[in-house]
Structures are given as structure tokens and as C-alpha cells.
Amino acid sequence: MPASRGTRDAETLEAQVIGEREHVVRLVGNPSAPSAVGAPVPGPVVRHQAHAELAVDILVGPALEKELAGMAARVAVDPSTILGDFDLSDTDRAELQRPERMQIIRESITEQAATGVDGWVDDDLASVAPWGFDVGRITVPVLVRYGATDVLVPPAHGEWLAANVPGCLVKVDDDAGHLGSDPEQEIAEHVLWLRDGAPPAGSRPPGRAGE
């Protein structure tokens, strides 16, 4: 099963740090977060946090700045190519071709690039650092929803959350990828769930897949 975008970035960082900075920290998995195959990643978290942040500043930031520039250049020509060479599902490719989605991409890439890549770096660090809380202690209602054909955030991540967030509601979109298959319907379902507690059609408690 493919690793997530954040995991892939973190693995790239790890290789660069080991190869280029002999005494800089080696970033390893978060024991409280799901791995690409759905199980918690064993081992220590980030040793010497200050060194880790330095490694990110030196290596990840410039790499993501370069990738962001490439994304912006692709979007200027064809917004549907924003994700480059990712082997996307058919539903994601179809969603990227929708005129509404392409317009959103055109407008959002400008905003995304306006303030740099700091948020993107933080997102990647979340793949290799503690989250600051235990999902097993969540007490508020939670809807875990994910697409079965997502290659950017593998379904195993959703499965892990479904198995570890107490009392959550789970909706697996069998044909959807990262972008969903019917955004208007999905937004309407989420609003109804938030406002009225009405579960989306096809959702279930955790642990009842296939029933």
C-alpha cells in the first residue's frame, strides 16, 4: 500500500538528513500515528527537537518551496495537473477535470503560495512527531470519512482512526479517492450531521465493515 504524501516527504527528509548531515537528527515514526499499512509505527519519536527543526529548515522547506513553484507553474497551464505524477484514482482524475474544481484550484494556488510553505512543513512534521493528544481519549462525536481509492492519504489511515477514536461514526466512500466523488452531496451530509446529528447514508459504527 502506498505511503501518504506527508510520509513520503518525511522519508525524503530522513534520507537527506542521514546523507548530508552526519550529526543531525534522524526522524522516525510517530508511535501514536498510523503507518502506511495501518499499524502504529514503532520506535522513538523525534530526538533533539531543536535539531529536527533545524533539519526541516535546511532541507524540507526549500524542497517544498521548489515543489510549490512547480505546482503553480502547472496550474497556470492546466489546473487538473496540480498533483503532477501521482497515480491518482479515476474518480480523482475526473474530479480534477470539473470546471468548478479547476476554478477553485486556480484561485487557491495563489493563496497557498502567498505566505510560503510553513504550514506545509508543519503538516509533514505531524507525520513524524507526537500529536499532543491521545485519540483514544476523544469524547466528542467524530465522523471519520475517507475514500477507498485515495493514494495521497491511504485508506489505512482512516481505518486506524476508525479503530482508535471511541464511538466514532465511519463512512467509507468505496469509489472515491482523495477529492471525493460528489462534493456538494458530501458537504450537505456533513452539515446535516453537524447540525442535526443525522448520519450520512451508508455510515456505520466502527468494526462493522461489510455488514
Question: Would you write out the chain's pLDDT as a tens digit for each of its 211 residues?
Answer: 445 555 555 555 444 444 433 333 333 333 344 443 333 433 333 444 555 555 555 667 788 888 889 999 999 999 999 988 889 999 999 999 999 999 999 999 888 878 888 888 877 777 777 778 899 999 999 999 999 999 988 899 899 999 999 999 999 999 899 998 888 899 999 999 999 999 999 998 876 544 4
Residues 106 and 156 reside in one and the same domain: no
DSSP 133-179: S-GGG--S--EEEEETT-SSS-HHHHHHHHHHSTT-EEEEETT--SS
Residues 153 and 121 reside in one and the same domain: no
Task: State the pLDDT at residue 179.
Answer: 92
Please report, for residues 48, 83, 156, the alpha-carbon distance to residue 45 in angstroms, rounded to integers and kept in the order given.
10, 29, 20
CA dihedral 48, 154, 119, 81 (to 10 degrees): 140
- Domain contains 210: no
C-alpha cell at 58: 535546511
- Domain contains 114: yes
Task: State the pLDDT at residue 59.
Answer: 66
Residues 98 and 20 reside in one and the same domain: yes
| Residue ending a domain, choose from 64, 99, 125 | 125
- Domain contains 204: no
Task: State the pLDDT at residue 123.
Answer: 78
- Domain contains 108: yes
Residues 39 and 101 reside in one and the same domain: yes
Domain of residue 180: give its range.
136-196
- Domain contains 207: no
Task: State the pLDDT at residue 165.
Answer: 93
Picking from 76, 88, 148, the residue whose alpha carbon sits closest to that of residue 68 is 76
Residues 101 and 153 reside in one and the same domain: no
Domain count, the chain: 2
Residues 77 and 112 reside in one and the same domain: yes
Residues 43 and 99 reside in one and the same domain: yes
Tell me the per-residue pLDDT of 90-149, one tens digit each, with 9 for 90 and over: 999 999 999 999 999 999 988 887 888 888 887 777 777 777 889 999 999 999 999 999
- Domain contains 206: no
Residues 119 and 141 reside in one and the same domain: no
Residues 79 and 149 reside in one and the same domain: no
Angle in degrees, CA 181, 124, 66, rounded to 5: 90
How far is residue 97's CA from residue 156's CA, in Å, rounded to a whole number? 27
Angle in degrees, CA 180, 106, 83, rounded to 5: 55
Residues 51 and 110 reside in one and the same domain: yes
Question: Hey, is 50 helix, strand or coil?
Answer: helix
For cell 502506498, what's the residue? 2
- Domain contains 202: no
Residues 88 and 116 reside in one and the same domain: yes
| Residue ending a domain, choose from 125, 154, 177 | 125
